[in-house]
Amino acid sequence: MFRVMVSGGIIKDFKIREEAVSFLIKRRGELRKMKGIEGETLEVSIHECGHGVGKPCINWERFTK
């Protein structure tokens, strides 16, 4: 399972890696255009979840603004 997490509490799970990457790219583009509140960190990340199979999660990429 692949999980994309976005600032604001958005968590979306995908079974197919390409779908997760597509969602990540879309959200990253949106964050780049957003004006954040001073002191607020905006970020989006993608990782491969090992939940349920006894494996740790592997963080692939994180974008922070």
Higher-pLDDT residue of 45, 39: 45
Query: Structure pTM?
Result: 0.80
Q: What is the pLDDT of residues 24-39, one digit of tens each?
A: 999 999 988 887 777 7
Structure confidence at residue 23 (pLDDT): 96
Closest alpha carbon to 26 in 8, 41, 46, 40: 46
Structure confidence at residue 51 (pLDDT): 73
Indicate whether 55 pLDDT > 80.
yes
Question: Under a CB-based contact definition with an 8 Å cutoff, are residues 43 and 24 in contact?
Answer: no
What are the CA-CA distances from residue 29 to residues 12, 22, 32, 53 (Å)? 17, 11, 5, 32
Q: Which of 4-13, 25-34, 53-62 comes out lowest in average pLDDT?
A: 53-62
